[in-house]
Amino acid sequence: MKRTDDETPDLLEEAMDWFLRLRSVPAGSDVAEDFACWLNASKAHSQAWEKANQTWQVMGEVQPEYEHLWRPGFIAPRRRGRRLLWGAGIGAALVAGLFLFLAMPSLVLRLRADHLTQTAELQTITLEDGSTIELGAASAIATSFTAFGRHVTLLAGEAFFDVRSDAARPFTVEAGGVEVSVIGTAFDVSLSETQTTVQLARGVVALSSESKPGKSLELAPGEMATVSHADGMTVRSTIAQEDIASWRSGRLFVSDVSIGEVAEALQRYHAAWISIPDGSLAAQRVTGLYDLKNPDRALGALVEPYGGKVHRISPYLRVLAPF
């Protein structure tokens, strides 16, 4: 089927393929003529190339060779019988590499986890003692039950626990070096690369961190605590009952967290890889409620107040940038 000029996402993927190809070929290669033919095929082709260059610059990549080819006025000779199969091969390799990069954490988790979910998948688990765990998207847990205790390790993502009371067998949850101890209660635990967050809906829980041994913090219903993995620093605050584990109803509630952390949470609900190369944009603090059922719209709502934009590079990549 002939591709039309208004198929911008396809052209953008081709432009990204060309960028990678031109970075790897030696000077003087005849691939330059093929690229020039592609570039001059239409205005949409040149616009896609310009956007690809902007994206790679934001991500810290250098310009490829043959810059003169996309300067105004350059027209390459038309060549018959040539097919741009090599560029398509690069695209396929890029997609395959990205797939492996995204899939590798799941493969590692699968070896450790007793239960895990995929992107945008939720799962309810009933444990042998009657307690239930609602596992968030792209999340994983490992369980260990003995006659003396019940232990769950949150390996990734987020989970809401509704624990049956059993004084003889304390229930503990470990997430990123933070331990939550309970007897009978309902609470949410969220794990990111930098911190662990606990939101308490019912009962009482005690938090302790391996960064600060011997110290613990008790939470009451309607309270939440965020513990830094780096130094064990804990921030305690209140939260409305309807906002506790709001992901269960398709919403993401955040309070004074960085755009980077919100993007990390949204990643569990988005099939494409999300990148924020600009550190100043990623560090901006936000408070708000975001729609997990439409993660692209959520990404836009996340960065647009700061002048940022969501660049749809392909079905497999989103880049959040300040322009």
Please report which confidence band the pLDDT of residue 112 belongs to, taking 50, 70 and 90 as the band edges: confident
Question: Distance between CA atoms of 198 and 226, rounded to whole angstroms?
Answer: 7
Strand partners, 212: 209
**pLDDT score, position 43:** 87
Is the full-model pTM beyond 0.85? no
Q: Is residue 148 part of a domain?
A: yes
60 and 149 inside one domain: no
Q: The CATH number of the domain where 304 resides is what?
A: 3.55.50.30
Please report which confidence band the pLDDT of residue 35 belongs to, taking 50, 70 and 90 as the band edges: confident
Q: Which two tokens stand for residue 320?
A: 């959040």
Domain boundary among 109, 137, 166: 109
233 and 256 inside one domain: no
**Using DSSP, how many helices (H) and how many strands (E) does the chain show?**
7, 18
User: What domain count does the chain have?
Assistant: 3
Helix, strand, coil shares, percent, the chain, to 5 = 35, 35, 35
Q: The CATH number of the domain where 184 resides is what?
A: 2.60.120.1440
Domain boundary among 42, 75, 109: 109
Query: How remote is the C-alpha of 75 from its chain's centroid?
Result: 41
pLDDT > 90? residue 64: no
- 195-230 in b/e burial notation, b at 16+ Cβ within 10 A? bbbbbbbebbbebbbebeeeeebebebebbbbbbbe
Q: Is residue 114 part of a domain?
A: no
Per-residue pLDDT reduced to its tens digit, 262-292: 999 999 999 898 999 899 999 999 999 999 9
**pLDDT score, position 296:** 96
**pLDDT score, position 38:** 86
Q: Which two tokens stand for residue 105?
A: 């954490």
> Domain span at residue 234?
122-241
CA torsion, points 253, 259, 262, 264, in degrees to nearest 10?
Answer: 180
* Closest alpha carbon to 190 in 129, 115, 268, 128: 268
Please report which confidence band the pLDDT of residue 3 belongs to, taking 50, 70 and 90 as the band edges: very low
